[in-house]
């Protein structure tokens, strides 16, 4: 499990890469465990949203959206966020996913941005999760 300094490093790097990008699609490969939200809510509040900030509360990442919703991410033991766009970046538990084509067998959730870049949530042991909440509830 990444400790607090690692989660803060992930937050800072992720913010640099995704703030200002518009999410146009999502694919959930492990539902409902990794991403338990209702597909209709996801389509309405996630698709078309622009990421406005990436924050951290303890070891939880908060990805703020223009729709007044927040993606709350906990990497748990083996979670990993991988950005593939004009550059490749990975944060969290190290594994070989960063070296290969994505999505792969460890991919639980994939977000696609308007410019064709992707953010993948990978998790070997399936303990981590990503949830969509109304921002006032976070």
CATH of residue 70's domain is: 3.20.190.10
Cβ atoms of 79 and 128 within 8 Å: the answer is yes
pLDDT at 136 over 80: yes
Encode pLDDT of 66-116 as tens digits.
999 999 999 999 999 999 999 999 998 888 877 889 999 999 999 999 999
Strands (DSSP E) contained in the chain are 23-28, 51-57, 60-65, 69-74, 79-84, 88-92, 107-113, 118-123, 129-134
The answer to whether 28 and 108 have CB atoms below 8 angstroms apart is yes
What percentage of residues in the chain have a pLDDT greater than 90? 86
Question: Domain containing 11: what range?
Answer: 4-137
Q: How many domains does one find in the chain?
A: 1
Query: Token digits for 88?
Result: 């490749």
Residue 96 pLDDT? 80
For 48, the 3-state DSSP assignment is coil
Query: What is the reported pTM?
Result: 0.94
What average pLDDT does this structure show over 24-33? 90
d(CA 89, CA 54): 16
């Amino acid at each position: 499990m990444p400790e607090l300094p690692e989660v803060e490093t992930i937050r800072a790097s992720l913010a640099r890469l995704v703030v200002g990008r518009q999410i146009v699609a999502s694919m959930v490969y492990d539902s409902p465990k990794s991403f338990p939200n209702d597909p209709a809510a996801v389509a309405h509040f996630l698709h078309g949203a622009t990421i406005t900030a990436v924050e951290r509360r303890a070891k939880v990442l908060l990805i703020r959206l223009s729709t007044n919703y927040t993606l709350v991410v906990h990497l748990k033991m083996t979670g990993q966020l991988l950005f593939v766009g004009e550059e490749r970046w990975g944060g969290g538990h190290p594994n070989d996913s960063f070296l290969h084509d994505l999505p792969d067998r460890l991919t639980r959730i994939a977000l696609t941005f308007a410019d064709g870049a992707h953010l993948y949530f990978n998790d070997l042991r399936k303990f981590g999760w990503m949830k969509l909440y109304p921002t006032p509830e976070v």
